[in-house]
Structure 1
Amino acid sequence: MSNFDEKQWLDDAKDYIRHKIKPYEAPPCIFSISKALLEECKDAYVPQIVSIGPCHFGKEHLTGMERFKSDAVRREVLRIQFATDNSDFKFEQVIERIKSRGEEIKRCYDKGTQFNGEVLHWMVARDACFILEFFRNHLSGVQEDDYDGDDDDMSFKNDFEFPPKLHPIFGKKSENPGVKSEIKKDLIKLDNQIPLFVLEDILAMEMSDSPDRANAKLDKLLRTMFDKIYHRPFEFCGKTKSERRNHILDIYHHSCLGAVTAENEEETGNELKLNVCCPCFTGSNGVQCSCFERPLQQSEKLRKHIERKRSKPPSTAVGGSCENVKASKQRKEWWLKIPSAVELKNGGVKFLTNAREVTDIRYEGKTLTLVPLKLDVDSEVYIRNLIALEICSPDYKHKRMTAYCQFMYELCRTDKGVDVMRQKGVIIGNLWYSKRVTQLLSVSNLTISQPACKSIKETREKLSNCYKTRRSILLRSLWTEFWNAYGSKPWLVVGGFGATLVLCLTAIQVFCLFKHCGA
């Protein structure tokens, strides 16, 4: 507070009130990470090598990559000169095009940006050139048959004399796989983004063509990158063009989870609102006020309060209105308890892993069909940022990644549950630490609304019916554990029988001894 200028703040507040209130032309699409998420795992959300956009610009540990951004600018200028046959082309022409969208760029960030004018324009233009060069040169090692882009895009493979082919970031033979892996992770972090239309504008200038063709080319480039190079938690990939084109993380989310269709999802209006104890909530149906419209304000205290509320289903009032009854029914569905993977296995439930999408999850005839989840060392960054995007962005009414991780967390719960999932092939990959798996899946519990995923909701209801017959599941679990401990090892059975026999004979001997003494 030592640098706080009271007079300046007061003048700004008065100025803002005097101006006519203007409606927002477009909601923000690039969000800052909330404190609750950062406390869970800071390294998964904060860039480690390269800063993209204004949110992390100027941080000391990220300044080393700035010189490579200058290399990317020079390479992009050479590309445009080569494509347009115009040797007089200057990068200032790109800046002029970006300058016309300066206000639109600032509106994309939920907390605004401290950089204005020419600094912001140069920043996002350099970052866009870096992203394009990194992606195109990273794909130079992909077989041409695997790349579904235009032929002219793959024909340009570091053919210019400058920079050299042994460039540490963009060269063909660069031997920095660790650095490239960190850059890939940094490029999909939630607040380390720039608007996608900046990349599209630069591609349009390079192609001297319409923005639509540049958009299609960029979409192919990104989808190929995500399909061939990036880690994806599921095996399937969204082949259709993404409807949301806000930034790179948006496209990555589409490539991992596909498009949302009316056939496999519920209406967004059925999203559950939890009635937590907050003075800002009004009405008995838990209608939220404006302070909860942005999930960025969720705190750790609120998250713990919600978890306590989940552990005990709320009581329903008699004679309530239709809306209250409906809200109560939705809350009951949310607080349904389902058996863990260990209990389901001991209860005779079979696990199948032939579901291609999250919407294919189902439970029929004691068979639970799930989507295999691929986890490795880098999975934490990708999955956490996918969930953070769904939590923070109001565009994602169907939080399918969040719903899937919540469902998996309820099934795993403990290390034994994770081991069962590994044995059944539901969890694959080389992330062997079970505690890290459960910790990763638990981040999905930071949302205060129920994700509207119809398939998972129906599966939870059916599994909850199994939970009602928990006594039989418990008996089967005890029998299974007894059989695994003794029945599978004959020498233990013989030893146990012998020990029991000796104990019985000893008891008879003591009884006879006391009877003889009494006589």
Structure 2
Amino acid sequence: MDDRAHEDENEHVPIDMKKLADSLSGKLETLPPLSGKCSIYRMPEPRRCLNPSQYTPQMVSIGPFHHGKEELKAMEEHKQRYLKCFLQRTKVCMARFLAFIKEREAELLSCYAETIHNLQSDDFVKMVLVDAVFLIEFFLRVYKPDCRTDDDRIFTKTKLFLVIRSDFLLLENQLPLFILNDLLNLAKTATYDDDFFREISLLTITISWFWQDISVFIPIEKELFEIHFSEAAHFLDLLILCLQPSLSGAPIQLKYLNVPGAKELHQAGVKFKVGSSQNLLDIKFEKGIFEIPFIPVFAKTQLLCRNLLAFEWLHDYTPYFNDYIIIIAILITAPKDAELLFENEIVGLSEELPTIFGNLSKDCTWVFDEFLYSGLLADLYIYRKSPWHKWKATLKQNYFNTWATISVMAAVILLLLTATQTVSSLIAL
């Protein structure tokens, strides 16, 4: 269609619609570009509304998504106190830090999956400085307890410390790790006490925090933490990168989905053993032995797992952690399953385990062609088909426990004595 045809067509458009179109066109022209490198997401509302408290910070906001919320403002003064202490150790002035962040503003904004509307540019830069230094100073005080001040209520009030620790691991409460690393390195360029920062890096102080406070929830080998630290976008990303299975095998097409719980598998001859690997995902089934690394379960297990699942899903990673939650939920469907795994030192006894993993599995998705443990489930199906394994298990479980074994042995001895007496009598004749 030529320009003249366009003009003819536009003559028939009402004036008020032309104004409306111009207004909308103006908005289209000012749309900010979207980054393909985003790594910090907001939880989609349909999933958030099912468990809102699992994705919402309780004490402290980190980053722009929850910044300025009334219920979190009490921590802003603590953040400022931390910033003041941090600046007292370095000769680098606050204006230099702010300028440094301003230079990286575009890169920082590109890390977020949505446009930041609640903060103007200068407010965003100030927020990044305060929040980033708060995290750095927090980790410093974990690493060097003598850095703590008498008025530091975070470290003198245990409950406050525990809540804040959980807030650091929320999907929506993240800052890019690169800005924390760069700000710490900038502070080290000119200091009042060179010895203070000797051998200190973001890696060293973060590892200290992780090993003291987080490793009880997610056991990860220190070597993996160090390997993946430089490539991690933020703390949740770091955990997911470390939670990669070291035992690999090509997924197969699953044909059999009727997998019973641990107790029923045990009755079919399957033995359970705590795994030697520190990697939670390294689950094996070989020669009738189901080997599972110890599963730590605490009050915040659901919160941490939900945020890890959400990030893995939104960031489009291979769903290894998703598949791990699914197989654990399959194995622990009832209290009797948890009791069996407790007896084999795979879990700490908890009547809530079936509920915990059952709820978590609702956030998971079965991808049958790519399921991490598909080969394991296929081997398990073949093992269960053998009547010999079930017969042997039944014989051992029902007839070779302590008292039953004594009864059987007594009966055999009595039978042998009777037979011996009978033979002796016949010989005597």
**Shared fold (TM-score greater than 0.5)?**
yes
Could you tell me how far apart the structure 1 residues matched to 2:267 and 2:326 are? 22
The residue number in structure 1 matching 2:173 is: 192
Return the letter of the residue paired with 1:228.
Q
| Distance (Å, rounded) in 2 between the aligned partners of 1:360 and 1:57 | 39
Looking at structure 2, the residues matched to 30 and 21 of structure 1 have their Cα atoms a distance apart, in angstroms, of 17
Q: Which one of 71, 76, 97 corresponds to residue 94 of structure 1?
A: 97
The residue type paired with residue 287 of structure 2 is G
Number of the residue aligned with 2:147: 158
Look up the equivalent residue of 1:458 and give its one-letter code: G
1:364 paired residue among 286, 303, 313: 286
2:157 matched to 1:237? no
In 1, distance between residues paired with 2:19 and 2:181? 38
User: What TM-score comes out, normalization by structure 2 length?
Assistant: 0.76
1:385 to 295, 303, 307: 307
- Determine whether 1:458 maps to 2:384: no
Mapped partners of 2:382, 2:105: distance in 1: 56
SS in 2 for 1:193: coil
Shift of residue 34 of structure 1? 2.3
Separation in structure 2 between the aligned mates of residue 181 and residue 165 of structure 1, nearest angstrom: 19
Q: TM-score, normalised by structure 1?
A: 0.64
Name the counterpart of 1:353: 274
Mapped to 1, the partners of 2:153 and 2:32 lie a distance apart of 50
Match of 2:68 among 58, 62, 76: 58
Gapped runs of 5+ residues in structure 1? 1-5, 82-88, 142-156, 271-328, 491-519
Q: Tell me the distance in 2 between the aligned counterparts of 1:102 and 1:336.
A: 49
Distance 1:215-1:385 versus aligned 2 partners, 3 A rule: farther
Deviation (angstroms), 1:408: 0.6
**Structure 2: how far apart are the matches of 1:166 and 1:17?**
51
The one-letter code sitting in structure 2 at the alignment partner of 1:241 is I
Give the aligned residue type for 2:338. Answer: V
- Contact 2:269–2:392, Cα closer than 8 Å, also in 1: no
Identity of aligned residues (%): 21
- Residues 84-136 of structure 1 show CA distances to partners (whole Å, capped at 9, x for unaligned) of xxxxx431211111011112212211122112311111111100011111111
* Structure 1 residues 385 and 7, CA gap change in structure 2 (3 angstroms): farther
- The equivalent of 1:135 in structure 2 is 139
* Change beyond 3 A, Cα 1:471–1:195: same
Distance change in 2, residues 1:12/1:59 (3 Å) = farther
CA-atom RMSD in angstroms: 3.8
Q: What are the within-5 Å matches in structure 2 for residues 34-433 of structure 1?
A: 34-81=44-91, 89-114=92-117, 115-141=119-145, 157-158=146-147, 164-169=149-154, 174-208=155-189, 217-239=201-223, 240-242=226-228, 244-255=231-242, 257=243, 264-265=247-248, 330=253, 332-333=254-255, 336-356=257-277, 357-358=279-280, 360-394=282-316, 396-397=317-318, 399-428=319-348, 431-433=350-352
User: May I ask how many residue pairs the two structures share in their alignment?
Assistant: 378
What is the identity, as a one-letter code, of the residue corresponding to 2:302?
E
CA distance 1:427–1:117, change in 2 (3 Å): same
Structure 1 pair 39–266 and aligned structure 2 pair: CA distance change class (3 A): farther
Give the number of the structure whose alpha-carbon radius of gyration is greater. Answer: 2
Residues 404 and 105 of structure 1: CA distance in aligned 2, closer, same or farther (over 3 Å)? same
Say whether 1:32 aligns with 2:42. yes
Q: Distance in 2 between matches of 1:158 and 1:168?
A: 13
